[in-house]
Structure 1
Amino acid sequence: MELSLAHPAVKAFMCGSLSGTCSTLLFQPLDLVKTRLQTLQSSRQPGLGRVGMVAVLFSVVRTEKLLGLWKGISPSIARTIPGVGIYFSTYYSLKQHFFPDRSLRAIEAALLGGGARTVAGVFMLPVTVIKTRFECGRYNYRSVTGALCSVCRTEGPTALFSGLMATLLRDVPFSGIYVMFYSQTKAMLPKDISMSASAPLANFSCGILAGILASLITQPADVVKTHVQVKPQLRTAKAIGYIYMENGLQGFFRGTVPRALRRTMMSAMAWTLYEQMMAHVGLKS
C-alpha cells in the first residue's frame, strides 16, 4: 500500500523528524559530554581524579575547539531524522488504531510509548552504534558511511547491533515512563491553560518533569549500553560486571547530569514541537 504525503502517518513522521532535528542540534554537546564521562577509564588509575561534567566540557573545548562539542552530529542527525519520525508515526498509528477517540490511561500511554520506541530503536541501532563511537573520541571515522563500512569490514555486520538488549532496556522503559508521566500531567492541567496561548509552555513543563523521572530510572541501562557499543567484545552481562568492578555502583550513574539535561530538554522540546506542528496540519496528536 502506497502512502502519500497527505497520509496522517506520513505527516506524523515529518513532524516528528523536524522536531527531533531541532532538539538534536541544540543538545548534541550534552550527549557528547555524557558519552565521554561514561567511557572514562577507572577512577582508580594513578593521576586520574574525579572528573565531572564541567571538566570534560572544558577539556573537549581546549583540545578539540568549540566545534568539538558537536562531534558525532552527523550520525546523530542520520539517526534522528528517520528515528524520531519512525517513533512518532508509530506512536500516532498505534494510538489511532487502538484508542482513536479518548485520552490514554497511564498503562496505555506507557505501552504505546514503549512499543513505538522498540520499533524505532531496533531499526536505527546501527546508526546509534556509530554515533556512540563518534562521541567517545576513540575512533577516527571520517563519515557515517565510512564508519558503517569499516565496522562491517573489520568486525562484521553483527557489531552494528551491539548493545541491542541494553539499548532496549534503556529506551523502551524511558519512552514508556516518559509518555505515561507526560500524558497524565498534561491531563491534570486546568482546561483554561490547555486551551490558552500558554499551552505550549505548560506542555513543555510537563515534559521536563516526565523527562527527569524517566532519565533517572533508566540511567544504569544507558551506561551499560555505551560500554557495549564502544567495546563490542563485551556483552551486556559482562559490561555490567566490568562497570561494577571498575567504578562500583556509582559507575552506573556516570553522566547522569548531562544525560538527564539532554534527554529531558530534547524530549520536552520534541513533543512540544510535534504537537504544535500536528495541530498546524490539522491532526490530533
Structure 2
Amino acid sequence: MPSSNIQTYPFWYGGLASAVACFATHPLDLAKVRLQASSKVGDNLISVIIRIITHEGFFSVYSGLSAALLRQGTYSLTRFGIYEKAKELSTQSLSRELSGLELLSCSIIAGTIGSIVGNPSDIVNVRMQNDGSLCSKKRRNYRNCFDGLYKICKYEGPMSLFRGLRPNIVRGILMTSSQVVSYDLTKRLLVDIFALNADSKITHFSASLAASLMATTVCSPADVIKTRIMNSSALAGNTFAIMFHSIKNEGVKFMFRGWVPSFVRLGPQTILTLLGMEQLKKWKVGVR
C-alpha cells in the first residue's frame, strides 16, 4: 500500500466519538459499577437500576456524568488516538496492511499510555457512580469531577489518583487489544472473505458487535478488580487482599460479576464509538 494513499485523521476522533456514546450508555455503566462493587448475592442489572431510581430518583442514573465525560476525554481520547497514529505510522513505514501481531503491538502501547493518563478520572468516575449506594456517613459527595480530583488530592494525597493503576493498565491493554484489534481484523475478514463493503454501516456494526463481545469477556476479571480497588479506602486498597477477600466470600465467579450489564453497556458504547469514528472519517471533520 503506497504511503501516499494513506489518509491521516485528527487525534481526537476517538475521544469525541466516545464522549457522544457516553451520553447514551452512562446509566448502564452506572448500574455495572454498582453491581461490580456490590457483594450482594442475587443482584442483577434490572434490580440495581430499579433500586437506583427508587432510592435516588430517576435522574440519578446520570450520577457522575461529568467524571465519565472527563474519562472519555483522557483515557479514550489517548488510547484511540495513539492506536490510530501508531497504526498509521507503521502502515506508512511498511507500505502494507499490518498483521494481527503488529496491530496488537500498537494496541498494547495505546492501552498502557491511555490507562496512565485516564487513571485519575477513572477513580473519580467509579466513586461518583457508586456513591449513592453507600450509607450517608461513607458518601464522598463530590459535586463534580474536578471537585473529586481536588478532594482526593487534599485528603488522600496526589498519589491516590493512581490507586489501582496496575490492574487498570492490565484492563486498558486488554480492552484496547480486544476491542480495536478485533474490530480491525473482523472488518478485514468481512471485506476479504465475505465481500462486504468496507464503508458499509452493516460491516461497521457487525465488526463492532464482535469486538464488544470479545472485549467484555476478556476484560471482565480486571474490570471487577479495578472497580473494587478504586472504590476502596486507602487501607483496604491492596490488590491481592481484595482478590483474596472476594474469592473467599464469593468464589472465583466474582471476577465475571456484572458480565451481562458490562456487555449491555459495552456493546452500545463500542458500536456507537466505532461507528462515530467511521462517520467522522467519512465526513473528514477537521482534516486539512
TM score, norm. by length of structure 2: 0.86
Q: How far is 1:163 from its partner?
A: 0.7
Q: 2:24 — aligned with what?
A: 26
Instruction: Name the amino acid aligned to 1:91.
Output: Y
Matched residue, 1:3: none
**Quick check: 1:12–1:278 contact (8 Å CA) kept in 2?**
no
Backbone CA RMSD of aligned residues: 2.1
Corresponding residue for residue 281 of structure 2: 278
Corresponding residue for residue 152 of structure 1: 153
Query: How far apart, in 1, do the equivalents of 2:153 and 2:64 lie?
Result: 19
Q: 1:201: how far off? A: 2.5
Mapped pair 1:69 → 2:84 = no
Aligned position for 1:225: 226
Equivalent residue for 2:196, pick from 183, 193, 198:
193
Give how far 1:265 is off: 2.0
User: Residues 156-187 of structure 1, C-alpha deviation per residue, up to 9 Å, x if partnerless?
Assistant: 11111111011111121121122222111111
CA contact (8 A) 2:11 2:81 kept: yes
Cα shift at 1:81: 2.3
Report the secondary structure of 2:196's partner residue.
helix
2:107 touches 2:180 (CA, 8 Å); kept in 1?
A: yes
User: Is contact 1:110-1:179 (8 Å) kept?
Assistant: no
C-alpha separation in 1, matches of 2:171 and 2:255: 12
Measured in 1, the distance between the counterparts of 2:174 and 2:123 equals 19
1:251 partnered with 2:254: yes
Matches within 5 A, 1:125-164: 125-137=119-131, 138=134, 139-164=140-165
- The match for 1:115 among 109, 115, 132 is 109
Deviates more, 1:145-154 or 1:126-135: 145-154
Alignment of 1:146-185 (within 5 A): 146-185=147-186
Amino acid across the alignment from 1:22: V
Unpaired runs of 5+ in structure 2?
1-6, 135-139
Question: Unaligned stretches of 5+ in structure 1?
Answer: 1-6, 44-49
Q: How many percent of aligned residue pairs carry the same amino acid? A: 24
| 2:37 corresponds to | 39
Residue 8 (structure 1) shift? 4.7
Q: TM-score, normalised by structure 1?
A: 0.87
Is 2:26–2:65's contact at 8 Å kept on the other side of the alignment? yes
Query: For the residues of structure 1 that align with 2:17 and 2:285, how far apart are their CA atoms?
Result: 17
User: Deviation of residue 283 (structure 1)?
Assistant: 9.7
Residue of structure 1 in register with 2:137 after alignment = none
Task: Give, in angstroms, the shift of residue 248 of structure 1.
Answer: 0.9
Deviation of residue 282 (structure 1)?
A: 8.0
Contact 1:178 1:210 in 2 (8 A): yes
Deviation at 1:220, TM superposition (A): 0.9
Q: Distance in 2 between matches of 1:161 and 1:149?
A: 14
For 2:75 and 2:181, the matched residues in 1 are separated by: 20
1:108 CA drift (Å):
1.6
How far the C-alpha of 1:246 sits from its partner, in A, is: 2.1
2:203 aligned residue: 202
Instruction: Tell me the amino acid that sits aligned with residue 282 of structure 2.
Output: A
**C-alpha contact 1:118 1:172 (8 A) present in aligned 2:** yes
